[in-house]
Amino acid sequence: MAAGGVAVFIVCHLLLLSYLSYSLPLCTNSRAPFTPKKALDFCSYNGSVCCDSAEDLQLQKQFQSMNVSDSSCAAILKSILCAKCDPFSADLYTTKSTLRTIPVLCNSTSSVNSVQTKSAANAFCDKVWDTCQNVSVFNSPFAPSLQGGVPENSTVSKLTDFWQSKPVFCEDFGGSAVDGSICFDGDPVTLNKTEPPNPPSGMCLEKIGNGSYLNMAPHPDGSDRVFFGNQAGKIWLATVPEMGSTGTLGFDESTPFIDLTDEVHFDTTFGMMGMAFHPDFARNGRFFVSFNCDKVQSPECSGRCSCNSDVNCDPSKLTPENGVQPCRYHTVISEYTANGTATEGSLKTSASPSEVRRIFTMGLPFTGGHGGQIIFGPADGYFYFMMGDGGSRGDPYNFSQNKKSLLGKIMRLDVDNIPSAKEINDLGLWGNYSIPRDNPFVDDKDLQPEIWTLGMRNPWRSSFDSERPSYFISADVGQETYEEVNLITKGGNYGWHIYEGYSLYKAPGSPEANSSISSVNTILPVMGYSHSDVNKNEGSASITGGYVYRAQTDPCMNGRYVYADLYANYLWAADETPENSGNFTSNLIPFSCAHDSPIQCASVAGSPLPTLGYIYSFGEDNRKDLMFLTSTGVYRVVRPSRCNYTCSKETAPSPTSPGSNPSSPSSGYRVRTLQTELGLLLSSFLLILPGFFL
């Protein structure tokens, strides 16, 4: 029961955050708007919408049954019914987490906002009242009996039957409680366009570590410490040097936080691929590691094969990739604890390598494409797990589109409520977790309930925007031609292997592009790049997803999504214009290394360009400063002026007080504040604490 209460709370917070504060095109069922194959017949929406033709027909029937004689009022009521199809319907129909039957109608007072293009003169709520107040309507959607259900019998009513005056009517249906939120003015919502800002002149880096890591996560206590994990299976806890100091990452390489190299199978495409610290880690000591293991080497390494009869797959019929038998290697998620060491709470600096619980195990069909990143959602507290299609060029067994397969999916699990072994078995789960009850396919027998999204190829680095937790951005590595970035929405299908990027995928040697499009409602990427943009040799490109930059350090990068190519030293920053529209424009960003970098950056002879090596991943610390994790070390984004880049918004650095000790949590990092304690009291899940966004 308690868990249910918490879940409701989390959902409310999620709704508040994602629907009220920010306007992102989103439908009421949390799904992304889509472009129907055929224009809607009744509702004159075009482009991206939230209705399919069946819903459009339904709305038409509802409208006809209303039998509105007055044509002006009829046009208004039709526009109101059709707002269901608006790509911003989630904003229009949701207030304070409850779903409305009538969209928020622009009020004379509240329509003065800079978000929408329409001016204040359009007081749509007034217009609805003035035009329709005396008009008789069958089954009026405004009738209180309809507020929340379908009536049993037809009734005719006027607005004046229920509301005495315009102010009372507009009190109920008008306006928008939150400043800058969206309202319906009779026409499809269009956002006020702002001029695209100029891209910054360049990004300045400093090198603060020599180690090569795949993962970084800030300490959930909000301090200046971060965890680094390498591919072989070790995790270190390091102190981030004060910005502007000459310090480097503070930690002792010979004393890792945990050493799992005995469990981890480490090879080119295998290793420790992800790590996630529980939001409440400082208190409960729980953390999770995602890695690969080899059944031949380790008896602990065994689980169900991803190629099985449920997905019409016979392991003995798979063509082994690189001569490796299917399901010799596994992807495993294990839980460990930092308890039991001499120090407690935030001071824990090491953990025992003995597994507390096996969260997930799945045998892999091939050697490549198995993602493996794990992240706790900052708003909902659930555990997101990015899984690739399992490898083999073109996903020949169609795992990513297969609804019964967990390959090529982003999953969403609840690791706080562990069911009994019997329940796990009855439900056919892949380990010790439960299914969040608002997962998109919990009630759909055709789909695995773990699935959050389908049609991924190999999501390599996903992140939540720390200022807008509804923005879950995932970079998906391409196959032949295109590297893509997706804006993740619940239940979305991102198209692989029917689409690669924006185009239908044509398997090598096949004359035709994949022709099963009709069965898939693909959500196209929001940005990306072609292989030909970075390298003439097809195949040698691989995207590394980053973060929406939110640090104060480089104000010209603020709000831009940063990503890179793994092989080429190419870096992009994407602007979203208008803000919150999902319309991103990527620009290649020059970068260089500060001449006063704590560790000198190696550079290409005769050029200021630092040789970063392979850009494996990015990390964000508790101050939202961005790090590059590369094969040659750890680089941090610093003030542009340190590389002679101009950024007019850059302010002079605040003088660092002499003698300040960089190893103690500095005032710049938020440790637990009053705000976060309130968050704790309210929801049991801190929504505002910076350290949660790993």
Ligand X SMILES: *[C@@H]1O[C@H](CO)[C@@H](O)[C@H](O)[C@H]1NC(C)=O
Q: Which of 477, 485, 456 is nearest to 616 (CA)?
A: 477
In angstroms, the CA 209 to CA 633 distance is 5
From the list 155, 261, 341, 481, which residue makes contact with ligand X (rule: CB under 6 A)?
A: 155
Pick 108 or 622: Cβ nearer ligand X:
108
From the list 1, 4, 54, 119, which residue makes contact with ligand X (rule: CB under 6 A)?
A: 119
Pick 273 or 362: Cβ nearer ligand X:
362
| DSSP string computed for 629-680 | EETTEEEEEE-GGGGT---TT--PPPPPPTT--TTSPPTTS--S-HHHHHHH
420 binds ligand X (CB under 6 A): no
Pick 45 or 384: Cβ nearer ligand X:
45
From the list 18, 30, 110, 239, which residue makes contact with ligand X (rule: CB under 6 A)?
A: 110
356 binds ligand X (CB under 6 A): yes
From the list 245, 339, 510, 646, which residue makes contact with ligand X (rule: CB under 6 A)?
A: 339
Residue nearest to ligand X (CB): 175
Helix intervals (H) in 494-630: 531-534
- The per-residue b/e assignment along 590-614, b for 16 or more CB within 10 angstroms, e otherwise, is ebbbbeebbbebeeeeeeeebebbb
Q: Taking phi first (over 0 means left), then psi (-120 to 50 degrees means alpha), and beta for anything else, what does residue 292 get?
A: beta
423 binds ligand X (CB under 6 A): no
61 binds ligand X (CB under 6 A): no
In angstroms, the CA 230 to CA 218 distance is 15
In angstroms, the CA 531 to CA 541 distance is 6
From the list 37, 61, 96, 595, which residue makes contact with ligand X (rule: CB under 6 A)?
A: 595
Binding letters toward ligand X, positions 1-40, x by CB under 6 A? ----------------------------------------
Pick 46 or 675: Cβ nearer ligand X:
46
From the list 3, 5, 8, 46, which residue makes contact with ligand X (rule: CB under 6 A)?
A: 46
Pick 431 or 619: Cβ nearer ligand X:
431
Structure tokens at 638: 């610093």
Helix intervals (H) in 504-583: 531-534
Are the C-beta atoms of residues 21 and 379 closer than 8 Å to each other? no
Binding letters toward ligand X, positions 569-588, x by CB under 6 A? --------xx--x-x-x---
User: Residue 612 — φ and ψ, nearest 5°?
Assistant: -80, -20
In angstroms, the CA 56 to CA 42 distance is 6
The CA-atom distances, in angstroms, between 439 and each of 31, 73, 95, 276 are 12, 40, 21, 20
From the list 57, 232, 424, 568, which residue makes contact with ligand X (rule: CB under 6 A)?
A: 424
Helix (H, G, I), strand (E, B) or coil at 271: coil
From the list 79, 89, 94, 107, which residue makes contact with ligand X (rule: CB under 6 A)?
A: 107
Kindly give the pairing relationship between strand 561-565 and strand 543-548. antiparallel
545 binds ligand X (CB under 6 A): no
Cis peptide before 578 (omega within 30 of 0): yes
Pick 343 or 585: Cβ nearer ligand X:
585
516 binds ligand X (CB under 6 A): yes
The full length of the chain comes to: 694
The CA-atom distances, in angstroms, between 45 and each of 76, 182, 198, 584 are 15, 18, 32, 23
Name which of residues 496 to 515 contact ligand X (CB under 6 A): 514
From the list 69, 309, 354, 651, which residue makes contact with ligand X (rule: CB under 6 A)?
A: 69
- Using CB under 6 A, which of the segments 178-186, 353-361, 524-532, 683-691 binds ligand X? 353-361
Q: Taking phi first (over 0 means left), then psi (-120 to 50 degrees means alpha), and beta for anything else, what does residue 498 get?
A: alpha
From the list 29, 35, 98, 109, which residue makes contact with ligand X (rule: CB under 6 A)?
A: 109
In angstroms, the CA 606 to CA 602 distance is 11
- Using CB under 6 A, which of the segments 109-117, 270-278, 370-378, 461-469 binds ligand X? 109-117
Q: Which of 451, 335, 468, 337 is nearest to 385 (CA)?
A: 451
108 binds ligand X (CB under 6 A): yes
Pick 361 or 466: Cβ nearer ligand X:
361
Pick 283 or 649: Cβ nearer ligand X:
283
Rounded to 10°, the helix 124-132/166-173 angle is 130
Binding letters toward ligand X, positions 180-219, x by CB under 6 A? ------------xx--x-------------x---------
164 binds ligand X (CB under 6 A): no
Pick 306 or 466: Cβ nearer ligand X:
306
Could you list the residues that contact ligand X (CB under 6 A)? 46-47, 67, 69, 107-110, 114, 117, 119, 133-134, 145, 152-153, 155, 167, 170-171, 174-175, 177, 192-193, 196, 210, 248, 284-285, 337, 339, 355-358, 361, 398, 401-402, 424, 431-432, 514, 516, 519, 577-578, 581, 583, 585, 595, 599, 643-644
